[in-house]
Amino acid sequence: MQTSILDFADSDPFAFYEGLRKSDSPVWDEKAKAWLITSFEQCVFAERDESMFTNSYVNADDLLKRIKGGGANLTLSQGSEHDVLRRFHLKLLSPSSIESFRIRHIQPVVDAMFARIEGKGSAELCTELCAQIPPRVISRLLGMPYDDDALMARILTLNDQIVAYIVSGYRDTGLRDIALDASAELNAMLLPYIRERRERPTDDLISRIWADAPAAGVDLDEEAALGLCRELYFAGSDTTVHGIANALYLYLTRPELAERVRADRTKALNALVEESLRLYNVVQFRHRICSGDIRVGEADIRKGDMVLIVHASANRDEAKYGCPAHADIDRRGPSDHVAFSKGTRSCVGSQLARVEMREVLSYAIDRLPGLRLDPDAEQPAFRGLYMRSMGPLNVLYD
């Protein structure tokens, strides 16, 4: 039986991806019922041509819109509506805003989470650190409670349930029903704050949405505001959890790079973050629908075919990178990868994620001296499928 991209849950997919790149990309995956685009050049081409490789939500029905939060949701939107929403998100998450968030919101959360494990001598970082920080940061940014451990864990669980339906190619009806319930629960969490901030604004992102979105051209009502917040809630939580874990894993397993990062918290640290994004690529692939017949490489892709743009393969393409499986923090253009996609669907929150990853690494250096993997504990391995990271991260420190 043909091996499928769906067969690599909780296992290393990179030899499989390498084999696909040696074939004539794209390759048909019978189990996934999709074309796998695996080369860097073809992935960038497909992502930048949305007229041919359309967003998978282009024909979203009401059920799928409910799962994604509906309203003014960036991933659901198309055409001029998407352009307006993208510009507004980029304004919300501008470089100056991100720097303010770093000081006022990210650092206090990171500091509090490190205080929990500081001095203990050992920890499992995926559970005690990585999974704790991103949902608290986005909750704090939205002006919601961020110090409730059970609530933060529940947010991640609900997002994971929605992701599971996405991984199925939006086809599994059982996972769809679970995702619908998860979406309703997330809406119930957010709506009281959305309604409160409309009447009594404060200094948070929900208040900024109510204040600034209409002037940015967003037709804003309660449903639209919910859609905006739901996408921030989703994108700002799960993916960055995995990104932090992968950055810490690279730091822990490459002592010669760790030494350079300890000596250089700017260029070297930034480059290590970028290499972790390139090497391990949190979101392994993105779904697209072909809107017309097109020939890509040696493949004839037909209108209506599902396409998976396999970022995790593209980021190790030998035609793009020298020694692509090797971590090299001296690469030219270290951020020239597709971990955050390319084109008009690229991640608007990429800089927020990067800042969180850099802050965690820097705090780890300062607060956990002698940080190292515990040789006697379970060692890290790939976990997940659609979104993945290395774990567990059982560590010792002085």
Query: How many alpha carbons lie under 13 Å from residue 24 in its C-beta half-sphere?
Result: 6
Position 166 scores a pLDDT of 82
Position 23 scores a pLDDT of 86
Q: What b-and-e string marks burial along 203-218, b requiring 16 or more CB atoms within 10 Å of the CB?
A: ebbbbbbbeebeeeeb
Q: What is the CATH number of the domain that holds 33?
A: 1.10.630.10
Position 57 scores a pLDDT of 85
> What is the spatial distance between Cα 39 and Cα 312, in angstroms, rounded to a whole number?
10
Position 59 scores a pLDDT of 82
Give me the long-range contacts of 296-299 (CB less than 8 A, separation at least 24). Answer: 296/25, 296/26, 296/35, 296/37, 296/42, 296/45, 296/46, 297/24, 297/25, 297/26, 297/39, 297/42, 298/24, 299/24, 299/25, 299/26, 299/27, 299/28, 299/35
Position 376 scores a pLDDT of 98
Position 355 scores a pLDDT of 97
Contact 117/129 with Cβ under 8 angstroms? yes
Position 1 scores a pLDDT of 58
> What is the spatial distance between Cα 265 and Cα 331, in angstroms, rounded to a whole number?
17
Sign of CA dihedral 71, 72, 73, 77: positive
β-bridge pairing 306-309 and 34-37 = parallel
Position 2 scores a pLDDT of 81
* Domain total of the chain: 1
- The tens digit of pLDDT for each residue in 173-188 reads 999 999 999 999 999 9
The domain in which residue 204 lies consists of 5-396
- The tens digit of pLDDT for each residue in 68-121 reads 888 898 988 999 999 999 999 999 999 999 999 999 999 999 999 999 999 999
> What is the spatial distance between Cα 357 and Cα 245, in angstroms, rounded to a whole number?
9
Q: pTM score, two decimals? A: 0.95
The residues of the chain scoring below 50 in pLDDT are: none
